[in-house]
Amino acid sequence: MSKALYELTLHAAWAALQRGDFSAVELTQSLLDRIAQVDGQVNAYLTVTAELALAQAAAADDRRSRGETAPLLGIPLAVKDVLCTEGVRTTCGSRILEHFIPPYTATAVHRLAAAGMVLLGKTNTDEFAMGSSTENSGYFPTHNPWDLARVPGGSSGGSGAAVAAQMAMAALGSDTGGSVRLPASYCGVVGLKPSYGRVSRYGLVAYGSSLDQIGVLAKDVRDAALLLGVIAGQDPHDSTTMPAPVPPYSQLLSEDVRGLRIGLPDEYFVEGLQPEVNAAVQAAIDVLAGLGAEVVRISLPNTDKALPVYYLVATAEASANLARFDGVRYGFSADSANILDNYRDSRGQGFGAEVKRRIMLGTYVLSAGYYDAYYLKAQQVRTLIKQDFESAFTQVDLIASPVAPTTAFRLGEKVDDPLAMYLSDLFTIPLNLAGMCGISVPCGFDAQGLPIGLQLMGPHLGEATLLRAAHAYEQATPWHSRWA
Ligand code: GLN
């Protein structure tokens, strides 16, 4: 039986469009029909831009007929709702921005558009990207396409679920402490977090500015490489972007990992790991060894401090970043008697419980008398964590580990226990503190049929090697070709 158009990978769809097998309008319609059919149960989208998508698709067909061949010409994609899109509502999963229409577009989205993308819509997220399940969305939770009673992971859970349920060919997400890799792992798709400074954060609504990075969720590694090539690179609007040239990632995906040294950190293979996750990751490492990689044990000794350091740094930065939502400049404004009440009521009613928790924590750790004990100390320990990685990368080319200790948990299971929720990010957070790059690649299923993710981590700007190893692994295994 031939595949429905929505089932194609991005690169296969692009080649078919190029051959004239079908039009971008037909492809887009197939995705929109799929959304209409499935999203009532999954709830991946906060906003579907159907009319805009069909108009963009028609324009793409027109451009193609005039000989244009841009790398995403006519390809329907989704964008996490923390990225500004001019003229299209951008809520950050928060009630405070329910009716916010940005006056400009994020650089990463702009680059996709310039490469010919068709925008299908904006995906659900934990409020301001704070969470690991999308249950902190101010609108509704997203459901995992593999088991609707379970979470898709977060905070880019809408993007993960949209790609996994084939309601988008790929999607953008953001990763501050794991928010691209975790949903990719729980939803059985590929999730790439680039190095800090590789992709412009301009137009990404800031959560933890020293940790945030835009990433991609895709059906396979080739699609992820292609998208990174489009969005990466220096941007005058973000002074933290690196001037380093963008390698031709797609062309550097060779099958060969022979001689690559892959480190297994002792601290990531610990008690509490779901046995099936451990087994699947060990089997993945055997596959990589079978392909010629050299596997060595390493140590990242400060791993146990990453979670507390993250929750000091991220909340401190969040408390400052979120001060701009004051009921005056953006979005929701309460109907209050005077300006002070208006600040209090707008924020009090507009923000959800988790966001308030983070703002309070962050304000506390930055306050006079506590700054040295908490924030400054956290920054010092952050340096030690970064040094762990730097020293590991003198011995190995890449590091392998599970993405998360378990597969997707049940909706509601952790909502009343923030600490249990925070633990889902145990293996993803250290990399953000170090500013390095990582990827989640499907590596099997547990007894319940839930996907498991293998995490590969690379040094700063090591994306080409990371993608090459992920691609070699993927091509040697069947996991990426199974769909919910
Ligand atoms: N779950 C982590 C948090 O809540 C990471 C979120 C993210 O990467 N945006 O902060």
pLDDT tens digits, 157-182: 999 999 999 999 999 999 999 999 99
Ligand 1 neighbours (beta carbon < 6 A): 129-132, 155, 175-179, 207, 314, 425
**Domain assignment of residue 208, yes or no:** yes
Report which protein residue has its CA nearest ligand 1's atom 10.
130
Give the residue-averaged pLDDT of 109-118. Answer: 98
| Torsion angle of C-alpha atoms 296, 300, 301, 304, degrees rounded to 10 | -130
**In the chain, how many domains are there?**
1
Q: How much is the pLDDT for 271?
A: 86
Residue 193 lies in a domain: yes
Nearest atom within ligand 1 for CA of residue 429:
5
Query: Ligand 1 centre from 294 Cα, in Å?
Result: 32
Rounded CA gap, 454 and 407, in Å?
12
Domain contains 102: yes
Q: Tell which one of 92, 130, 309, 426 to mutate to probe ligand 1, the residue whose CB is within 8 A of the most ligand atoms.
A: 130
Q: Catalytic residues, which ones? A: 80, 155, 179
Q: Which helix (H) or strand (E) holds 426?
A: none
Give the three-state DSSP class for 161: helix
pLDDT at 191 over 60: yes
pLDDT of residue 402: 98
Q: Is residue 68 part of a domain?
A: yes
Domain that holds residue 197: 5-254
**Both tokens of residue 119?**
């925008």
Q: Where are the beta strands (DSSP E) in 49-108?
A: 76-80
**Looking at the DSSP assignment, which residues form a beta bridge with residue 445?**
451
CA 26 / ligand 1 centre spacing (Å): 36
CB 464 within 8 A of CB 458: no
User: Within a domain: residue 447?
Assistant: no
Residue 120's closest CA among 151, 158, 93, 147?
A: 158
Residue 1 has pLDDT above 60, yes or no: no
Work out the average pLDDT over 356-368: 96
CA of 34 to the centre of ligand 1 (A): 29
Judged against a pLDDT cut of 90, whether residue 2 lies above it is answered with no
420 vs 89, 175, 282, 406, 409, CA distance in Å? 32, 19, 25, 12, 11
66-98: pLDDT as tens digits: 999 999 999 999 999 999 999 999 999 999 999
In angstroms, the CA 156 to CA 131 distance is 9
Ligand 1 geometric centre to CA of 350 (Å): 20
419 pLDDT band (50/70/90 cuts)? Answer: confident
What are the pLDDT digits (tens) for 255-282?
A: 789 999 999 999 999 888 999 999 999 9
Among residues 204, 199, 222, the alpha carbon closest in space to that of 79 is found at 204
- CATH code assigned at 59: 3.90.1300.10
Percent of the chain with pLDDT over 90: 96
Closest-lying ligand 1 atom to the alpha carbon of residue 207? 9
How do residues 379-399 score in pLDDT, each as one tens digit? 999 999 999 999 999 999 999
The answer to whether position 162 is within a domain reads yes
pLDDT digit string, tens, across residues 301-350: 999 999 999 999 999 999 999 999 999 999 999 999 999 999 999 999 99
Q: Is the pLDDT of residue 203 over 60?
A: yes
| 58 lies in some domain | yes
Residue 161 and residue 175: Cα distance in Å, rounded? Answer: 16
Six-digit token pair at 447? 């007894």
152 sits in the region (left: phi over 0; alpha: psi -120 to 50; else beta) called alpha
Distance CA 102, CA 81 (A): 11
Q: How many CB atoms lie within 10 A of CB 344?
A: 13
Residue 469 confidence (pLDDT) above 70:
yes
Please check whether residue 393 lies inside any domain of the structure.
no
For the segment 217-222, the average pLDDT, to the nearest whole number, is 98
Q: What is the mean pLDDT of the chain?
A: 97
Residue 420 confidence (pLDDT) above 90? no
The pLDDT-based confidence of 107 (bands split at 50, 70, 90) is very high
For range 463-481, the mean pLDDT: 96
8 Å CB contact between 436 and 459: yes
